[in-house]
Amino acid sequence: MQRERHMTRWTGRRAWVAYTALLAVAALVLAACGTDEADDPEDTAAPTEEADAPTEDDEAPEEEPAAEVRPACDVTQGVTDDTIHITMLNDLSGPTAALGAPDISAAFKAHFDAINADGGIDGRDVEVQILDHAYSPVDAAQRYEEVRTDTAMVASVFGSPPLEAIAQDLVDDCLVSFQSGSSGQLAQAYETIFAPTTTYGHEILNILGWVIEEQGETDATFALAYQSDALGEAIRRAAEFGAEHYGFEYVAEATHGPQDSDLTAQLQTLLAEDPDYVVYGGLPSQLAFLSAGALAAGSEVRFISATPGFVPAVLATPAAPAVQANVFLSGPYSEWEGDQTGRVQMREEIETHAPDVAPGQGPVIGYSTALVVAEVLRIASANGDLSLHGILEASQQVSGFDANGLLPELTYGQYPDAPRVPSHASRIWQPQEGPAQGMVPLTDYFESEASQLFTEPIL
């Protein structure tokens, strides 16, 4: 049911003074958090239906010849008797470096350092080379050229624009890659790209379902705000699917650029319709701007977002009270704290092999991705095939993998017939000072009705 609330109107001088003061606060948020952490969402290709089993009267079907291995895949590179060389492309100096991207790669590498200290994978050390793409598609393409013929995997790429710039090259060269984050649209479109977990689109549908199905707010009103790029567009499409599924229309819609620092006009557009919730698809600095501005304006609106909408650094700024009061998040990752076996092992390995990494969500994301990549290499090694084709086949054989409890259960399949999204589940979180990730979970893993039905389109 729609909440009763009192909202100070824009025409009141006192409200305007409070609001403009919070715009200055938002500027501090932008300075503290940097600008961009965009990843796209992901998708699932529909499985093919099994043919009816033949009867005795039917002619036996002709056996289909085994698919030929593409010449690019019939190569072993980056592998010796003693080592497996893999590459990670990350933003170490660009706009998302301030948001903790370097900690993602440091935690990723820490897991393989721990594996090597314990004998490696079937006696081979895994060498992780980390290259800086500065969140630039041009730089990503240049860094890729440096390693394309001597690495076994471009195992992880941070950010959709850099990954999209080399996506077709990865396919042409038969190099497997897992994006750091939850992007699935590229996995849907490119055979050798994999989403490491639940997508941002499914995250948004889970939090919409939580509001409507679990909180019982069937009469709540929603507005929609998103940034004008692949990340925002993907979340917009999921949000539109959610509106159709749950039978409502957005009362207002606003967009902004990924680099925009002043969202005054967008906030006015959203609050003019007095919504109960704003579904948001964008980055932490802009969400903090909207959150702080809404609170200053006397609005009780709540913002619901996928993983990219928050980083703990926001809680070190004057926007912290607003973000803790009116922002809720959906994401598939585990907490840093806790005595679960996977979390204890994660902290021990990172503290041993990457002691300068600050605890938080970034290291959890990087470490979790490393667990999936290591599982692929173990499968390929057990199959006796560390060729590029063997690593691709091993990636599609991951089944029921739970990353030591750090992720929902993951299962991939053969491209393009089997689903490529390994999970649709996420948890609901609320920002809160104190925990290393700057937020606390409100739910366990779940899938909303809309998330179970959604297939993200290729943008």
Indicate whether 373 and 297 sit together in one domain: no
Q: Looking at the 3D structure of the chain, how many domains does it have?
A: 2
The answer to whether residue 33 scores a pLDDT higher than 60 is no
- 403 and 448 in a common domain: no
Q: Which domain holds residue 182?
A: 83-198+335-423
Q: Which of 217, 210, 213, 209 minimizes the C-alpha distance to 1?
A: 217
Is residue 18 a part of any domain in this protein? yes
Nearest residue to 135 via CA among 229, 65, 212, 223: 229
Highest mean pLDDT among 156-160, 184-188, 336-340: 336-340
Q: Do 343 and 324 have their domain in common?
A: no
Structural contact between residues 341 and 402, judged by C-beta atoms closer than 8 angstroms: no
In a domain, 360, yes or no: yes
Strands 302-305, 277-281: pairing kind = parallel
Instruction: Give the integer Cα–Cα distance in Å for 192 and 194.
Output: 7
- For residue 42, tell me if it sits in a domain: no
Mean local confidence (pLDDT), 393-399? 94
Is position 292 within any domain?
Answer: yes
Residues 362 and 221 in one domain: no
| Same domain for 449 and 314 | yes
Question: Does the pLDDT at position 407 exceed 90?
Answer: no
In this prediction, residue 422 has a pLDDT band, given cuts at 50, 70 and 90, of: confident
Which CATH number belongs to the domain containing residue 25 in this structure?
3.40.50.2300
The answer on pLDDT for 295 being more than 60 is: yes
**396 falls within a domain:** yes
- In tens, the pLDDT along 51-71 reads 344 444 445 445 544 456 778
Q: What is the pLDDT of residues 86-125, one digit of tens each?
A: 999 999 998 778 777 899 999 999 999 999 999 999 999 9
Contacts of 127 by beta carbon, 8 Å cutoff, 6+ apart:
83, 84, 85, 86
Same domain, 207 and 317: yes
